[in-house]
A and B are shown apart, each in its own frame.
Chain A
Amino acid sequence: ETGVTQTPRHLVMGMTNKKSLKCEQHLGHNAMYWYKQSAKKPLELMFVYSLEERVENNSVPSRFSPECPNSSHLFLHLHTLQPEDSALYLCASSQDIGGSSYEQYFGPGTRLTVT
C-alpha cells in the first residue's frame, strides 16, 4: 500500500445529495492533492494544499468544496452534483511542493456515480 487511504471506495449519490470524500495520509507529507480521473481523459488536478493552505484551485465548480483540517487529512465535500461528475476521485500526497521534484503517492480512489 502507498500510505494514502481513501473512504469510501464507492459512492452512489443523487444530484440533490450532500456527501464527503475523505483522504488520510500516513507518510508525514506536507502537500495533498485531489484529482479527477475520467475514462479516456488525462488526470485533472482539482486542488492542491500545502501545510493546510490551498495553493491551487484549477477552475473547479463550486459544487466541489475541499477542506484540509491538518496536514494528514483532506476532504472533498460534494453537493448538487451532475451526472458528468461521475468519475474516480484520487487523493495524493507528496513530501512538499516547493522543490517540485517530489513524487506523489496516490490513494486507491473513490469511484463516484451520480444518478
Chain B
Amino acid sequence: AQSVAQPEDQVNVAEGNPLTVKCTYSVSGNPYLFWYVQYPNRGLQFLLKYITGDNLVKGSYGFEAEFNKSQTSFHLKKPSALVSDSALYFCAVRDPQAGTALIFGKGTTLSVSS
C-alpha cells in the first residue's frame, strides 16, 4: 500500500535562513510525488512535482525538492525563507500502478519569523 509521512508537525525558521520540510514515502513502484501549500482560509496550491528525470525539481515561489530513491524521500527546500512562506505544506504521493488516488501527508506547518 502507498503511504506518505511528514515527520514534523511544525518547522520554525528565521527569515533569510534556508528551510527544509521533510517527506518520506512508501510505494511499490516508481512514485509520482507532489508538494502543495495551503494558506489560511484557502485551498491547496500546487508547488512542484516529480514524475521522472532530474532528481532536483524546481517549483513556484523559489521552492525546490529533491527526489532520493534510496532514502525514499522528497524533501522540500528553499535557500532563503520569507515570512510570507508561513503556511501549511502537504506532501503527496501517487503510485501510477495503483489507480487514481493521491495520498496526502498530514501536513507540516512552516513558521518563518522576522
User: What chain B residues lie within 8 Å of A109 (beta carbons)?
Assistant: 42-43
Most A-side CB within 10 Å, residue of B36, B49, B102, B106: B102
Number of A-B contacts (CB under 8 A): 53
Q: How many residues on chain A are close to B (CB under 8 Å)?
A: 24
B43 pairs with A43, CB closer than 8 A: no
User: What chain A residues lie within 8 Å of B96 (beta carbons)?
Assistant: 100-101
Q: Given A100-B96, A106-B44: A43 and B34 within 8 A (CB)?
A: no
Q: Given A43-B90, A101-B51: A108 and B100 within 8 A (CB)?
A: no
Q: How many residues on chain B are close to A (CB under 8 Å)?
A: 23
Within 8 A of A (CB), among B60-114: 90, 94, 96, 99-107
- Smallest CB separation, B89 vs chain A (Å): 13
| Residue on B nearest A91 in the bound complex, by CB | B43
Name the contact of A104 in the complex, choosing from B41, B102, B105, B106 (C-beta under 8 A): B102
| Residue on A nearest B43 in the bound complex, by CB | A106
Chain A 78-111 against B: per-residue CB contact (8 Å), 1 yes, 0 no?
0000000000001010000100110111111100
A48 pairs with B45, CB closer than 8 A: no
Measured in the bound complex, the distance between the Cα atoms of B45 and A107 in whole Å is 9
A107 pairs with B43, CB closer than 8 A: yes
Most B-side CB within 10 Å, residue of A43, A55, A105: A43
User: What chain B residues lie within 8 Å of A2 (beta carbons)?
Assistant: 43, 45
User: What chain B residues lie within 8 Å of A43 (beta carbons)?
Assistant: 44, 90, 104
A100 pairs with B45, CB closer than 8 A: no
Name the contact of A41 in the complex, choosing from B36, B51, B94, B106 (C-beta under 8 A): B106
Enumerate chain B interface residues (CB-CB to A < 8 A): 32, 34, 36, 41-46, 49, 51, 90, 94, 96, 99-107
Interchain residue pairs with CB less than 8 A apart (13): A2-B43, A40-B106, A41-B106, A42-B103, A48-B100, A48-B101, A92-B44, A100-B94, A101-B96, A103-B34, A106-B43, A108-B43, A109-B42
